[in-house]
Amino acid sequence: MKNQRNPFGYPLILLIILSALAIILWGQLSPAQDPAAWVLDLAAEAAAEDLATEAPRIDRAAQVTSALADGSTVLVARIHDGDTFADRAGQSYRLHGVDAPELCQPWGPRARLELADILARGEVRAWAWGGRSWKREVVDVMVLQPHGLSVDVGAELVRRGVAHVDERYVSGPRERALMSIEAAARLRQEGLWRYPPTVRPRDWRADHRGVRPPRCGQ
């Protein structure tokens, strides 16, 4: 007599495989991690990778005369605060699209340290965005790391929870990516999101108009 095929054989094998995959994927979550947070983290990681795969997009219509050529290497000499630094010639640069707490605010000194850490990890390249703020060149900045990966400095500050997205000055894919990264940091309660509510730096500055830019801690 010929052996008859078990009609449940293949479905059972498929069920076992799917169950194993589900267990593996679920094992990626720590016991305290919300699945929603995990999904947002994945989206934020993808957004950060998209920002790092190409040089920042510059709005040529807004481009003004700048001493920077696209992708100029900047030799960092000083970190002013969480979103501003200077080169060896004394020129100051302000990161485009993000706003870190002022040094007088909670998390301001920490943001300054985080910016210093990021900029120290590789070659610093800057793209002039098209304007000046308090005599500071407004720039998009990438750090080219020795192992070949690039880091969008503004996005990394947002991911670490030490800077807000300033949606007034970003638009399109970059804005969507940065907002996704900020949403993930907020859900994880990274940095300044750990003790809400936080005062946005621009609101803090509006209440301290007599001292602009703030000089606390410098």
Return the CATH number at 60: 2.40.50.90
Size of the chain, expressed as the number of residues it contains: 218
On whether residue 136 sits in a domain, the answer given is yes
Give yes or no for a contact between 94 and 133, defined as CB atoms under 8 angstroms apart.
yes
User: For 90-104, 107-121, 175-189, 195-209, which range has the lowest pLDDT when averaged over its residues?
Assistant: 195-209
Residue 12 covered by a domain: no
Average pLDDT over every residue of 2-31: 50
Q: Specify the pTM.
A: 0.68
Instruction: Examine residue 149 and state whether it is found in any structural domain, yes or no.
Output: yes
What rounded mean pLDDT belongs to the chain? 74
Query: What burial class does residue 124 get, using C-beta atoms within 10 Å of its C-beta: 0-12 exposed, 13-18 middle, 19+ buried?
Result: buried
Q: In which domain, by residue range, is 173 found?
A: 34-206
Residue 19 lies in a domain: no
Asked whether residue 215 is assigned to any structural domain, the reply reads: no
Q: Is residue 146 part of a domain?
A: yes
Reported as a pLDDT band with limits 50, 70 and 90, residue 145 is confident
How far apart, in whole angstroms, are the C-alpha atoms of residue 177 and residue 140? Answer: 14
Contacts of residue 111, Cβ cutoff 8 Å, sequence gap at least 6: 81, 82, 83, 100, 101, 157, 162, 163
Q: Residue 80: inside a domain, yes or no?
A: yes
Mind listing the pLDDT tens digit for each residue in 64-113?
Answer: 334 565 788 999 999 999 999 999 999 999 999 999 998 988 899 999 99
Kindly state whether residue 28 falls inside one of the protein's structural domains. no
Name the more confident of 18 and 117: 117
Nearest to 186 by CA among 14, 41, 88, 67: 41
Structural domains in the chain (count): 1
